[in-house]
Structure 1
Amino acid sequence: MKTIQKMFEHLHWANERLLEALQKIEGEKQEALRFFSHILFAEKVWLTRLQGLDSPPITLWDDVEIKDCAELVEQNKKGMTTYMKTLTNDDLDHIITYQNSKGIEFQNTVREILTHVALHGHYHRGQINLWLRTEGHKPENVDFITFVR
């Protein structure tokens, strides 16, 4: 349980660092915002599934503004932190049944879902950093080891 909690502390820290970096950029940044909002929308969908609720009708690749991302960063951090406080080690092996965006039903453990959410976001944060570098901006170091140092 401690490892998963640490992964989510890292996830929130990394999201906040990228949000700050994107907020400082003047001009066009829609491509980066698309990746970033995708991370945040996916986090929101997975949290609702973990809570046993129907996934909200969200387009996972929507065009949004930076202010929308800032709101999602805060909402997701609050929601996931609250959810994680209720989890026990036994809960991690609980099976969650859910439908994906195409209506296909799947089952995974809480542990598998939480691991997926943490890794999925990290993948796309790397894509945002590539965009930052390509556009002449300094990439943000969001490595886990940097976080734990």
Structure 2
Amino acid sequence: MKKEQLVLMYEYNIWANERIMNHLKSLPDGIFAKEVDLGFKSIAEVITHLISADEVWFARIKGESPPPLTRTPFTNIEEASSYQNKLQTQIHEFLLSTDDIENIVNYSNTRGEKFQNSILEIIQHVVNHGTYHRGNISTILNSLGYKGILTDYIVYLRR
């Protein structure tokens, strides 16, 4: 995969996350933190997990010690959206500035097991992880009587 393709894939991830956040902002207050019993306790918990995981992966790519994966859930959609936008901008700028997406990153998972993956593989994982959890959000919305929103890659490409 070329760097341009990887950047495009990450730009899709940004677009899809923004669509989800904007959709959530259009729904009645309280939906963000409404408790459910669907693997995650709320949409807030899903989004907090997604952002926390992205922070961990970004720290690893930069060769830094990652923050803890668990954090206090965001209290509202505006706070989460603002935080996510800043983080995604940083990751996007990093991808644009990096010379070698095949660069190997050595890291340990949360259990202390050591692994190696390229920046390319990690970003592919980040995008895939985001897709999975956007699906969780759609499931939660459906269970609460609201429709989700299309965030498929092909929809992004057709814009």
TM-score (structure 1 length as normaliser): 0.89
2:66 corresponds to 1:63: no
Q: Which sits farther off after the overlay, 65-74 or 40-49?
A: 65-74
Partner of 1:108: 117
Alignment of 1:116-135 (within 5 A): 116-135=125-144
Equivalent residue for 2:32, pick from 26, 29, 32 = 29
Work out whether residues 49 and 69 of structure 2, in 8 Å CA contact, stay in contact via their aligned partners in 1. no
Given that 1:99 and 1:106 are in contact with CA atoms closer than 8 Å, whether structure 2 keeps it comes out as yes
Q: Which 4+ residue blocks in structure 1 deviate beyond 4 angstroms?
A: none
Which deviations, in whole Å up to 9, do the C-alpha atoms of 1:20-72 show, x marking residues without a partner?
12223322433112112211111111111111111013416x42222331122
Could you tell me which residue of structure 2 aligns to residue 78 of structure 1? 89
Farther-moved stretch of structure 1 (117-126 vs 30-39): 30-39
Under a length normalisation based on structure 2, what TM-score does the superposition of the two structures give? 0.84
Q: SS in structure 2 opposite 1:98?
A: strand
The answer for unaligned runs of 5 or more in structure 2 is 34-41
How many residue pairs get matched?
Answer: 146
Q: Which amino acid in the other structure matches residue 9 of structure 1?
A: E
Q: Tell me the distance in 2 between the aligned counterparts of 1:63 and 1:125.
A: 16
Give unpaired runs (5+ residues) of structure 1. none
Residue equivalent to 1:14: 16
More deviation in 135-144 or 29-38?
A: 29-38
The separation in 2 between residues aligned to 1:33 and 1:42, in whole angstroms, is 14
Aligned-residue offset at 1:142: 0.4
Matched letter for residue 21 of structure 1: H
SS in 1 for 2:13: helix
Find the residue that maps to 2:149 and give its secondary structure. coil
Identity %: 30
SS of residue matched to 1:92 = coil
Task: Check whether the contact 1:97–1:108 (CA below 8 A) recurs between aligned residues.
Answer: yes
Residue 130 of structure 2 aligns with an amino acid whose one-letter code is G
Distance 1:101 1:23 in 2: 32
Match of 2:36 in 1: none
- 8 Å CA contact 1:132, 1:139 repeated in 2: yes
* Residue identity opposite 1:27 in structure 2: G
